Amino acid sequence: MKRCLVFLLIAGCFVLGAVAQNKKTVKRPPAKKAAAAAAKPQKPKGCVSRVPYIGAVILDADTGAVLFEDKADMPGYPASTLKLMTLLVIQEKVEAGQVKLDDPVKVSVVACKTGGSQVYLDPKETFTVEELLYAMMIQSANDAAVALAEHVAGTKEAFVELMNAKAQQIGMGNTRFASVHGLPPSAGQRHDVSCARDMATLSRELCKHPAVFAYTSASYRQFRANTPKPFDMRTHNPFLKEGVDGCDGFKTGYTATAGWSIVVTAKRNGRRVIVVVLGSEGRKMRDAKARELLNKAFALLPAAAPAPVPAAPPAPAAR
């Protein structure tokens, strides 16, 4: 009996020692690493952005040739870059004489309640088409986009139909617009969907209308100028802010679900390129990739054909 008790005591001590040793060898994550993992920002639910982007493309604006592409047909949400289509539809109406730049636009309650980036329109106010175009392109004002759409087509929905018809006409086969501004959809509505290639196609179409560069190249302008409450509008385009050589457009875009996008165009030595970066996970990432592609773009342009050498004049006839 005593031998059994002694054996049990020895066995118990052995087990307890093993458990204690096992606890010592269990690896636990350092507190700093655990805290860093907890602090890492999580992508919002439904976010489609990627690293470094969903898709990208470089286009020769003069010939339409694709100089570079990476997942250019991958669908994403264009966010405010779709205002380029809003601009194109209106510009064509202006050139056709159906809309005038000095037309007065009465602000509706629907327009003034539009969220996101805005110039805080009030239903008591009236502005010209031209003033609202500047607001839409410099400030990326969603309320201005709605006011313009209602003025041109009667309702936002009717204007979206014009946008989609134009998209199909110019070959934007992977695009479907559902709004005039690019904000996330309300319950029961659909997302705007496009891809890098289609946004480049849209941008090349815009280049055929030189008047649009007045709006897309402006980096600052006052809205409600000469009133007691002027509003300073500043571009969101980092390339315009920095005065990048030859840059005169086009548009940035961001929502939490779409990620960060940009459409850039620049003209140097008579040659124009278009760069699209769609759906980056961060603003700095988007800007860095766009800068890299813009620097690359002009190097990728084929050399211009040498001017033909004029033929020598015929020798005078012998006399």
Dump pLDDT digits (tens) for 81-90: 999 999 999 9
Query: Is residue 100 predicted with pLDDT exceeding 50?
Result: yes
The residue among 208 and 313 whose pLDDT is bigger is: 208
Lowest mean pLDDT among 38-47, 126-135, 179-188, 307-316: 307-316
Q: How far apart are CA 147 and CA 54, in angstroms?
A: 31
Per-residue pLDDT of 28-49, as tens digits, reads 555 555 455 455 557 777 899 9
What's the mean pLDDT in 280-291? 97
What is the domain partition of the chain in residue ranges?
A: 46-300
CATH 3.90.1150.10 holds for 46-300: no
Query: Is residue 20 predicted with pLDDT exceeding 80?
Result: no
Instruction: Write out the catalytic residue numbers.
Output: 80, 83, 140
